[in-house]
Amino acid sequence: MPIALIGYGEVGRILAEDLRARGESVVAFDLKLGGEAGAAMREHASRHGVALAASHADAVRDAALVVSAVTASQAVPVAQACVPGLKTGAFFLDFNSASPGAKLRAAGLVNGTGARYVEGAVMTSIPPYRIKVPLLLGGPDAAALEPLLNGLGFAATVASDRLGVASATKMCRSVMIKGLEAMVIESFTAARAHGVEDAVLASLKETFPGIDWEKQASYFFQRVIEHGRRRSEEVREVAQTVREAGLTPWSASGTAERQAWMADLADAGLFGARDTKQFARSADWRTEADRILDHVKKKR
């Protein structure tokens, strides 16, 4: 099955590695191929036998399966960019963390070509699971795609034959998960500034004894430092999902701002250069919190 990956970032490269390990034919395209990140992408593609295309349309032209794995805000623009090259009957799996409304708009574009749009909702962090990450599928063609995906090594389950159900499940979960990341960073950094972090941690351990808060905090800090930009875009889609339910997304909007703020600090080099092994790899969240507090003090 010829497979096209649109987006060759962390997710795209993991999928490419696992699909190529099974002997599948993979072609990829990413807008960043022409920028600073392009050299690393080309090296990775060469090492794993992935063909690189010159455009969205070129990448999908011969594909029986297209996987769109870009940032949340690009879900609909990518679907639009792929339209000229999509084959009739090809599956278009939208991996992106977008609102139900955005998925419906993307589906309209894809299905208008005779291709088959299926929404995908990734239900946890991809790196530990890789291609086996729990994946919910949605839409009229989800049941037809499920066995094909699982035959490729995915762990896909049909959530609904209605578009929007799978993405709503993912987005509502993200209110909690991405919000918890932002709250831990805000709470623990403020506690560190006031010298009460040990007391806060002890209280949390008593209330939620099943969570290793030291370990969880370090993981949250690292993931947000490394992927805060992508997370902030996702949570803006989460906020839109809340709006589509008729609610004001106070929590989601605040989470998006905190995630974006952390991404700005990371882009400015506060946590080290992204191309070094020292970037956001502290085993203790306090190291990262202290960097943030030093930065805040200098800004006063």
Q: What is the pLDDT of residues 72-112, one digit of tens each?
A: 889 999 999 999 999 999 999 999 999 999 999 999 999 99
Neighbours of 198 (CB within 10 A): 10
Which residue's entry shows tokens 């005779």? Answer: 114
Model pLDDT, residue 71: 87
Assign a CATH topology to domain 3-162.
Rossmann fold (3.40.50)
Model pLDDT, residue 278: 61
Q: Tell me how far apart the alpha carbons of residues 153 and 291 are, in angstroms, rounded to a whole number.
A: 41
Model pLDDT, residue 288: 95
The low-confidence residues of the chain, meaning pLDDT below 50, are none
Model pLDDT, residue 36: 85
Contact (Cβ atoms closer than 8 angstroms) between residue 11 and residue 73? no
Model pLDDT, residue 127: 87
167-299 to CATH, choices 1.10.760.10, 3.90.1150.150, 1.10.3210.10, 1.10.1040.10: 1.10.1040.10
Rounded to two decimals, the pTM is 0.85
Model pLDDT, residue 162: 96
CATH 3.40.50.720 positions along the chain are 3-162
Q: How far is CA 91 from CA 28, 117, 118, 165, 202, in A?
A: 16, 6, 7, 19, 50
CATH 1.10.1040.10 positions along the chain are 167-299
Q: Phi then psi for 51, rounded to 5 degrees?
A: -80, 140
pLDDT, tens digit (0-9, with 9 covering 90-100), for 23-57: 999 999 999 998 888 999 999 999 999 999 999 99
Q: Tell me how far apart the alpha carbons of residues 68 and 70 are, in angstroms, rounded to a whole number.
A: 6
